[in-house]
Structures are given as C-alpha cells and as structure tokens.
Amino acid sequence: MLKKARLTLPFLFAAVVCGQSPANFNRTLFPILEKAQCRMCHNDNGVASRTRLQFPPEKASPEDITAFGLRLSILVDREHPDQSLLFRKPTNRLQHTGGERIHPGSPEETVLRQWIAYLASLPEDRLAAAMGKRGVAAAEPAVVRRLTHSQYNQTVADLLGDETRPADQFPQEDYINGFTNQAAGQSIAPVQEEAYNRAAEKLARNAFRGDLRRLVPCTPSGPADGACRQQFIREFGRRAFRRPLTASETARYEKLFLVDAASSRDFLQGAQIVVEAMLQSPNFLFHLEGGPNGEYPQYRTASRLSYFLWNTMPDENLFRAARDGELDTEEQIERTARHMLDDPRAQRSMDVFLEQWLRFDRLKNAIRDRRLYPDFSTELTAGMMEETRQLYRHLVWDNGNFMQFFTANYAYLNNDLAQLYGLPAPQREFARVDFPPNEKRAGILGEAAFLALTSKPADTSPTERGLFVREHFLCQIVPPPPPGVNTTLPPPTDEKPLTNRERLQVHLSNKTCAACHGLVDSIGFGFEHYDGIGRYREQQVITIYPTFDEMQHHLKMKPTEHRLTLDTTAYVRGIPHSDFGSPRDLGQILANEPACQKCVVKQLFRYAVGRAETAADQPVIEEALQRFRQSRFQFQNLIISIITSKPFLGGGS
C-alpha cells in the first residue's frame, strides 16, 4: 500500500494551489535553481559531486530536464515534506555547504514548496515510470586541435632536424580546462597566422642548408626530374601530414614545385617552396591525419598515440605499423602503446602533462619581495620544479602507487631545497631523502613548488592554496567572485597586527563572499605553517613599515615586527571527517578520497583527448578509474585505459 504524504499547512497549501505537472518544472523551479547557481556545486566537477543531486548537462533537452525534476523525489520525505532535504538544504535550514541559496519566505521558496508537494503526492509507480523516460547522453562530436607550441617545436625538430624552437616566439597559449592543448582554446588569430608564415619561411630556407638526405630521398638529375620530384613530394608529405598524400594533393604540390623550379631552374628551389607551403597547411598545423575523406584511419591512430605519448610526430616504426594494419584492434593498440611507453620520449611527454597540470608556468614567472625572501631565485624555483618531477617520475615509471604523490614521506632534494626544508644535504643532487617521523610535509602538498606557486609576492595565500586543491586535485569548479565585489583585505597595523586567517574573516563574515571563500579558505588555513617559498615557520611574522606621513611627522621611523601565533586547523568542506592541520594530514585524506582519485583520471583524460569530459564520457571515466584502482593506482595502466577508450580513438581530434 502506498504511503500518503502528511502535509503540514504550508505544504498543504502548496499542494492545493500549485497545479503542477512534470513539464511545469522546466519553467518554474528549474530556472530558480539555475539562478541560485546550484549547478556550480551539484555536478560531477562540483563541490557537491558526492551527493545524490546531480544536474543535467547545460545543453540538456527539455525531456532530460523534466526527468531531472522528477529525480529530485529522492530528496523528498513523502511522509514529512517539510523535513525533505530538497527543502531544508537550499534554504539553509539544515547546514548546507553552499549556504543559503533560496531565501526563506521568498516567492522562490513558494515554488520550491509547490514542487515538493507535487512530488510527494505522486504515486510511486507513476513516479518511477516517469523518471525512467530519460534520454541518452549524446556522444561528444569530434574536435579539431592544432599542434601546441611544444608539439610544433618537437615536430619540426624530428621532421627537419631544426632545433631552433621557433614556437617559443609564438603568441602565448591559453590554458583551458587546465591545459594548452584543448580544442576550445586553439583558434588561430591573425597574429598567430603571421607567426606560422614567418616560421615556415625560415624553417624551409634553413632546411636546405644542411644535410639534404633527410628531405630529398633521391638525387635529382635536374629541375625537370619528374620521378625524383614525385618521390620527394610523396615522402616529405607523408611525414609532414602524418599520412599518405592523396593523388590530388600530390598533383597540387607538383604544380607548385614546377612553377618555382622553372623560374629558378633549380630543383631545390622548387622543393623549398613545397616545404614552406606544407608547413603552413592545416594538414601539418592541425591533427587532421585521417585524410580529406576519412581515409587512413590507422594513421590517425598512430598520430594520436604519438602526440599523446611522445608529444611529437610518429616515427618510422609507427608509420610502418599504420601502413601494415597493426593499429586496428584494441589489443594491437595496447601492445604498441606499451612499447612506446618504454621509449625515453614518453617521459618527456608525460613531464609536459605534469608541468601543465600543476601550472609550473606560474612558478617560473613568480616574483617575491626580496626583503622577505632573499633566498628566492630562478635557481631555487628550478630546483622546486625538479623535485616534483623526480617524485612524479618515480611513481609513474617505477610503477608505484600514484596516490603516494600526495602521501610520500620522502622527497628528491638538492642542497638548496634541503636547506630550505631544514634537512641534511643529500649525497648527490636530487637524491631521495626520507623525512623524519615527526615531519609534517608529505607529497606534493608539502613541496615548495606547490607552496610557492600558491603564494603572493609578500606572503602566503590561504585562498589560492585552497582553490588550487579544489580545482587541480579534486577537479571542482569554484565560482569566481561576483562582479564589483571588493576583495581587498584590511591591512595589518601596529594596533591590529592580524594573521592571514584573522584578515580573511572579513570574507567569511560577508554573505556574498562566504559561500565560496568557505570552500577554499577552510583548506588553505592548514598550510599556514609554510611561508611564501615553502619554508616552515612556527609563527607568522608581520612587519609594519612606517608610512611617508609618519616619517615626515616623526611618528614612526623604523619598521616594527610582530610575531603572531598561527591557527592551522582546517577541513575540506564536503568531505566527511576531513579535519587536518598539516600537508601530511591532507595528503592522506586526498589519497583515500574517491573524488581525488577520479580527478587524476579526469586530468589525464582532458590532456589526452583535448577537451573536458562530458556526460557521455562518464562510463569511460568510471571504467578507467576502476582499472586504475585495481592496478593499485599504477599510472601507466591509467594511460593504457584512456588510450584504448572510444573518446581517444574515435572522438576528439
């Protein structure tokens, strides 16, 4: 027998007047939830990803939105609707991570009550049938990507033997979804087009000044040597376009060759103009290896493997595998990929993934107040990045448990870092140093690279540190500050020499700021024992310098120093039992947290496929995560899982 809802007076009134139907949700409550930014947290990359409430994709069909409205019934208490989580959470009557999203007593709350009353009144069998009418998430359409700057440099080095790294002079790349190889950020602006043109002209000119055997596989008898001309165009074109040329393409480049060779009566002049033209072709600059009409699918697979695993064009062995049909089955692809992982080029490519995932570019460009951090230098930051690379390489290439990236009780140090950490100097540069039992550092969170890149020129930043953990290690999107919000914190004074934690209370006490700052600052406070370059500090030292006016009136002539006690109690809102007070404690929490484990999978997926994951990709992500766990978090097995997935082989670029 179905249980009948026990409606209190407000909900009884809502049930009488609402006249709801499933379709009404799309134009009544759903827009209210969207305006309240509930989607920002309640999605697979949101702070509330662990909860049962998951919003449909932004481009969901009306049918899917309707089905979502009915699925909200899992948060409805049919006997006591006023106790429903769907009612108490967004109105913050029950502690809500996102704070108050719907104001009690507002018209929006009335609409929420109406929908809850409607869901509570529906017979369970009818509700189950309606919820089952869901659409299937559409597969992500193919995306077109161009070579990243690092891929361009390595490709022209392998194709032409040119080590001048011309892409270093190209316009700066944008980071989208955490990486520079994402299709959404790879349009070509006019300034980029000009850079490609200049580079192609210079590369082609320089290519014919050295050993020509790399480019011209035959000895021409003169500018009219048709056999050698065709052989050169087909061979260089195959390598430049990463697939065989079609007959029409060969004819087009022959025509270009003949015009220039005839005018100069020089075979090499004709060859040079062909090289220059091919280097400006979309077939070279973009990942279009499938051919104009979808031909050569195995060459496309070879190129995808090569640019993911080696960050450059395929070599002759990989071209041969494509030609001979050895990249057709999943087993063949996995066998080839494992062989490629044994190549030193794989380490170089996976280093690029690490450097972008952790935003080493920010650390390279970091500046520090020399009065506060006299030891900060280019050499020190280079050592910080190398320490992180060494830990990462050890876990990836020695098949360790990759979640030790967050928990490792050892580090790879040089003399400068050992001194910074207060540890004995290693026997050799970047040798492994085990931490003493009472050390509060551990893994990436205790490394100077993370602690420095999330700090400001003159101090630490709990906000930046917490934000980095959310975005990079939990794959959670934290909304940006609302437009026009004053983010300035009160400066410390001699009368009020406040710690960073005390100054940030301004944000936490402001309703506009508290929802987001509560998500990140509550994490960042746990790192406050480490200063802006990662050195341990027992207290926060505040130096108050005299102002010009104070010196003019002889009110204060010298800086004063205040030593303040630090409170590093912290927690990760949204993760139960996540209280911590040191990088070591948080590292253990993250290593055991499913959201963090899944985030590692997502980050590599985004880098491999060149786009963010979608709802249609979730089965692939879950399967890769399961295989990752079963392998005891061996990173190479995660690589293989993604390489053999349909989005990598059949979708994407």
Q: What is the pLDDT of residues 569-586, one digit of tens each?
A: 999 998 999 999 999 999
Nearest to 391 by CA among 361, 335, 325, 435: 435
Please give the pLDDT value at position 70. Answer: 83
Mean pLDDT of 532-552: 88
Percent of the chain past pLDDT 90, that is, above it, reads 59
Task: Give the lowest-confidence range in 45-49, 342-346, 529-533, 600-604.
Answer: 45-49
Instruction: State how far the alpha carbon of 150 is from the alpha carbons of 31, 119, 146, 169, 207, in Å.
Output: 43, 54, 11, 11, 20
pLDDT in tens, 338-366: 999 999 999 999 999 999 999 999 999 99
pLDDT in tens, 406-430: 999 999 999 999 999 999 999 999 9
The answer to whether the CB of 432 falls within 8 A of the CB of 387 is no
Please give the pLDDT value at position 31. Answer: 87
* One-letter amino acid of 60: A
| DSSP codes of every residue in 292-358 | TTS--HHHHHHHHHHHHHTSS---HHHHHHHHTT-SSSHHHHHHHHHHHHTSHHHHHHHHHHHHHHT
pLDDT confidence band for 2 (50 / 70 / 90): very low
Mean pLDDT of 366-378: 93
Please give the pLDDT value at position 224. Answer: 79
What is the SS3 string spanning 128-197?
HHHHCCCCCCCCCCCCCCECCHHHHHHHHHHHHCCCCCHHHHCCCCCCECCECCCHHHCCCCHHHHHHHH
Please give the pLDDT value at position 335. Answer: 97
pLDDT confidence band for 653 (50 / 70 / 90): very low
Mean pLDDT of all residues belonging to the chain: 88
Residue 383 token pair: 């050592």
- pLDDT over 70 (residue 623): yes
pLDDT in tens, 256-283: 998 876 666 788 889 999 999 999 999 9
- pLDDT over 70 (residue 392): yes
Nearest to 423 by CA among 450, 444, 441: 441
Task: Give the lowest-confidence range in 11-25, 533-547, 624-638.
Answer: 11-25
- pLDDT over 70 (residue 40): yes
Mean pLDDT of 187-200: 93
Q: Which helix (H) or strand (E) holds 360?
A: helix 360-364
- pLDDT over 90 (residue 600): yes
The answer to whether the CB of 234 falls within 8 A of the CB of 250 is yes
Mean pLDDT of 231-236: 96
The answer to whether the CB of 174 falls within 8 A of the CB of 185 is yes
Give the number of other CB atoms < 10 A from CB of residue 149. Answer: 20
pLDDT confidence band for 52 (50 / 70 / 90): confident
Please give the pLDDT value at position 114. Answer: 85
Please give the pLDDT value at position 546. Answer: 83
- Quickly tell me which residue has 């995932």 as its tokens: 357
- pLDDT over 70 (residue 512): no
pLDDT in tens, 127-172: 666 565 555 555 555 568 899 999 999 999 999 999 999 999 999 9
Mean pLDDT of 74-103: 84
Give the C-alpha separation, 257 to 272, whole Å: 8
**3-class secondary-structure state, position 650:** coil
pLDDT confidence band for 482 (50 / 70 / 90): low
pLDDT in tens, 283-306: 999 987 766 667 789 999 999 999
pLDDT confidence band for 483 (50 / 70 / 90): low
Averaging pLDDT over each range in 217-226, 314-323, 557-566, which range is the top one? 314-323
pLDDT confidence band for 180 (50 / 70 / 90): very high
Give the C-alpha separation, 300 to 289, whole Å: 5
Mean pLDDT of 3-32: 62
pLDDT in tens, 436-447: 999 999 999 999
- pLDDT over 70 (residue 11): no
* One-letter amino acid of 22: P
Please give the pLDDT value at position 1. Answer: 41
Q: Which residues contact 534 (CB under 8 A, 6 or more apart)?
A: 384, 420, 421, 447, 448, 449, 450, 451, 452
- pLDDT over 60 (residue 10): no
Please give the pLDDT value at position 139. Answer: 55
Averaging pLDDT over each range in 5-9, 180-184, 222-226, 465-469, which range is the top one? 465-469
**What pTM was computed for the model?**
0.85
Which of 34 and 125 is assigned the larger pLDDT? 34
pLDDT confidence band for 15 (50 / 70 / 90): very low
Please give the pLDDT value at position 485. Answer: 66
- Quickly tell me which residue has 């303040």 as its tokens: 564
- pLDDT over 80 (residue 640): yes
The answer to whether the CB of 479 falls within 8 A of the CB of 37 is yes
pLDDT confidence band for 529 (50 / 70 / 90): very high
The answer to whether the CB of 560 falls within 8 A of the CB of 510 is no
- pLDDT over 60 (residue 6): no
Task: Give the lowest-confidence range in 3-12, 238-247, 570-579.
Answer: 3-12
The answer to whether the CB of 238 falls within 8 A of the CB of 215 is no
The answer to whether the CB of 222 falls within 8 A of the CB of 270 is no
pLDDT confidence band for 7 (50 / 70 / 90): low
- pLDDT over 50 (residue 396): yes
Task: Give the lowest-confidence range in 80-84, 474-478, 548-552, 587-591.
Answer: 548-552
Which of 78 and 579 is assigned the larger pLDDT? 579
Give the C-alpha separation, 469 to 220, whole Å: 60
